[in-house]
Each structure stands twice: as C-alpha cells, then as structure tokens.
Amino acid sequence: MDVDEVRLADEVAPPAGRPRSPVAFLFSGDGWPYLLLPFIPIAVILELAGASPPLVFFTSALGVVPTAAVMGTATEELAERAGPGIGGLLNVTFGNLPELLIAFFALSEGLHEVVKASIIGSVLGNVLLVLGGSMLVGGLRRERQSFNQKAASAQAAMLILALAALTMPAVFELVKGGGLPLPGDELVAFDHAVEELSLTVAIVLLLAYAGGLWFSLITHRDLFNPPGEEEPAHEPWSVRKSVIVLAVAGLAVGLMSEILVGSIAHTAESIGLSEFFIGAVIVAVVGNAAEHWVAVYVAAKDKMDLAINIAIGSAAQVALFVGPVLVVISFFVGPNPLALVFNGFELAGIVLAVIIASHVTSQGESTWFEGLMLLALYAVLAAAFLFA
C-alpha cells in the first residue's frame, strides 16, 4: 500500500462527532466485509467434519474477506501512529499478507502454477476489474472525473517495468528450446538456469520496489499525498490494540488460507473448474475483496486519486513485491523453486492489461465508458481462462 491507502479509514469514516451504530457500520460501504465473519468458524467446522471440498473452499474463501479487512484496518491504524515512512513499510509488510499466506500454502503443496495464476490474476483484477469498476461507477453521474496524472503515470511506469522483467524468463525458456507451461499443469520442472534467472529477476524487482517506496514516501511524497486533501481526523487505535487485532487477524488469515489451499485440487475436480481458473480469478479476487470494494466506493464519491492509487498501486505491489517474495521463499519451501515462466494466457493477459492501464491513466481523467471497456476486457480474459 502507498501513502494514499493509509487514509482509507479516514476516507470512508463518518464526519467527526457522529459515531455510527454497529448495525449502521455493518451495512455501510466499509463495514460489509464483517458480515462475512461467521464464515470463519463455519469453514473450520466443515473442514473438521470432512465436508465436500467445494463447500469447504467457498466458505473459507468468504472467510478470508473479513480477516483481510480486519488486518488492513489494524495495519492502517499502526501506520497512522508510526508516520508515513515506517507506516509505508508496515503496509507493505502486512497489507499483502493474505495473498502471501495463500500463495505460501500453495507453494508448500507444490501448486506452483496456481501460485503464478494468482499473481497474474491479482494484477488483472486490479488494473481491469477494480479500475474498470471504479471508473464506471464513479463516472455514471459525471461527464468525466479527474485525477493526478503524474502520480498515476509513476505507478503505471512501475507496472511496465514489472511486465518487462516478468516476461523475460518465459522468453529465455522459449529461446533455449523449452516450452511454456499449460493451463492444466500443477507443477512444471524447469532447469536451474531458468530458476536462477527467476531469482535474479525477483531480486531486481524487489530493489526497484524499494526505490519506489523511497520515491513515494520520502523524496516525492507531495506527489502521492498532495496538501489540502486530508480528511477530518478520527480517534486512532492504541498501538496495543492495533498489534493485538493484527495478530489475531493474521492467525485467522493463516487458518483460512490453509483450509482454502487444501481444498483447491478436490474442488476443481468436483465442480469441473480448472485449478488455473480458480487461481487466476477466484483466489486472486478473494484476498483483496475488501480493498477492491473501497476503490469503487471512493470513486463513487468522486475521489479518483485514491481509487486510481488503490487499483494501479496494488497491481504494482503484486508484480514488484508479492511475486518476487514468493520466488525467494520457494527456494526454501516446496518441492522446487518457483520459476517465473508463465503460460500463454497469463502472458497475453498481463501484456494487454498493463498496456491499457498505461493508456487510460495517461491523460489524468476518465469516463464511465473507459471503465466499461476495462470490465469488458476482464470478462473476455476470464472467459478464456475458464475454457482454457
């Protein structure tokens, strides 16, 4: 998360001095994920009872949503106490934890292709589904919406860098006479040269992301957090409360992630969906569902700067931070290292998504029709993944 996302709680909070009742909060734009809290014990009970894998999968997927929302809120509160520098690092560390935990358990199960599908699916979900939904909903009652073109272009440039780097292992594999993995694969063995290249790419991307953090949080903070846009302050949580909530939410996310990953293979077999589609569409959306909703919600309130930064910034985080971290972890967890060799559908999807994201953010304004086009492309890609 970047510095704009630290203000998520403020953006959706009620005006100062007008606290909401618990019922009003639960049915508000920012409180709805907590309505899904009952699915956490339900998923655990179904898992212990040996219920059907599809039932376990979908209840645990729904259970991830509120735990991710709680973790995001606790992280934002800690970040607000710590200041923008340390706060940005806290958001990077914990903001992507649901995705990282789901992918970690998938790595340990040897579901490498599911992990790669979830990485690409998360990028596509952010730059097509979330950005498209934000532009469509925000533009329905307005002729056009404006946002900071320089900040959006900086985020888009990071995505272009990630695209170039993430495609090189696949190019290397093809030039060396190898082949791309197929959508139905779970684990593909690649030679050590590709694995070492993937590790090199991962390290370079992590260094680039660290530079991006320094750029957005230190040297060019005003670009991403311009003066005059601060919302009325709310009463922040204490550090102790934030840490306790974060720890409990982290345990819950870990539990839901383990149950979710453990049921993927049997669920795919039972309902006729490929593990590729489940990873690229369902799992990719679940981990960030609460944050995705916030982007659309603030866009409807004509706060497109924040919506753009959530969508494009989250996609950049996945490509420059989550994916590379998983590559490094895979050298210690699972049957063999994760090679960043994506299948043809994934490569086509991310190339199209990044090109279009760069185009629609280049002018500093958007319309509902651009949002509709982004959603249409996401629907086409999801359909291709479904039939792959």
Contact 341, 113 (CB under 8 A): no
Sign, CA dihedral 51-55-56-60, equals negative
Per mean pLDDT, which of 28-42, 86-100, 115-129, 265-279 is the most reliable? 115-129
Q: Confidence band (pLDDT; 50, 70, 90) for 171? A: very high
- C-alpha distance from residue 105 to each of 109, 159, 256, 258 (Å): 6, 26, 11, 6
Contact 319, 95 (CB under 8 A): no
Q: Confidence band (pLDDT; 50, 70, 90) for 8? A: very low
Q: What per-residue confidence (pLDDT) applies to 364?
A: 84
Contact 291, 279 (CB under 8 A): no
**How many percent of the chain have pLDDT more than 70?**
83
What average pLDDT does range 273-298 have in this prediction? 80
Count the alpha carbons within 13 Å of 264 in the hemisphere toward its beta carbon.
Answer: 31
Residue at 132: amino acid letter: G
User: What values do phi and psi take at 338, rounded to 5?
Assistant: -85, 120
Q: Does residue 291 or residue 275 have the better pLDDT?
A: 275
Q: Does residue 202 or residue 283 have the better pLDDT?
A: 202
Contact 143, 296 (CB under 8 A): no
Return the number of other C-beta atoms located less than 10 Å from residue 270's C-beta: 14
Q: Does residue 7 or residue 334 have the better pLDDT?
A: 334
Contact 307, 137 (CB under 8 A): no
Looking at the DSSP assignment, which residues form a beta bridge with residue 366?
145
Residue at 285: amino acid letter: V
Q: What per-residue confidence (pLDDT) applies to 5?
A: 45
SS3 for 12-25 is: CCCCCCCCCCHHHH
Q: What per-residue confidence (pLDDT) applies to 27?
A: 57
Q: Does residue 166 or residue 3 have the better pLDDT?
A: 166
What is the per-residue DSSP string for 281-319? IIIHHHTTHHHHHHHHHHHHTT-HHHHHHHHHHHHHHII
What average pLDDT does range 93-118 have in this prediction? 83
- C-alpha distance from residue 315 to each of 27, 104, 162, 205 (Å): 28, 19, 10, 13
Provide long-range contacts, Cβ within 8 A and 24+ apart, for 252-256: 252/40, 252/63, 252/67, 252/70, 253/64, 253/67, 253/68, 253/71, 253/97, 253/98, 253/101, 254/101, 255/40, 255/44, 256/40, 256/43, 256/60, 256/63, 256/64, 256/67
pTM: 0.81
Express each pLDDT in 309-335 by its tens digit.
878 888 888 899 989 999 999 999 878
| DSSP assigned state of 322 | I
Instruction: Determine the Cα–Cα distance for residues 388 and 183; give it in Å rounded to an integer.
Output: 6
Instruction: Determine the Cα–Cα distance for residues 99 and 285; give it in Å rounded to an integer.
Output: 10
Instruction: Determine the Cα–Cα distance for residues 58 and 64; give it in Å rounded to an integer.
Output: 10
Express each pLDDT in 50-80 by its tens digit.
888 889 988 988 888 888 778 777 777 776 6
Q: At residue 86, does pLDDT exceed 80?
A: no
**What is the domain extent for residue 312?**
3-387
Structure tokens of 292?
């995705």
Looking at the DSSP assignment, which residues form a beta bridge with residue 146?
365
What is the CA angle 288-290-282, rounded to 5?
45
Q: At residue 347, does pLDDT exceed 90?
A: yes
What average pLDDT does range 154-162 have in this prediction? 85
Q: Does residue 165 or residue 223 have the better pLDDT?
A: 165
Express each pLDDT in 234-267 by its tens digit.
567 777 787 788 788 878 888 888 888 888 878 8
What is the CA angle 251-257-261, rounded to 5?
155
Per-chain mean pLDDT for the chain = 81
Q: Tell me how many domains the chain contains.
A: 1
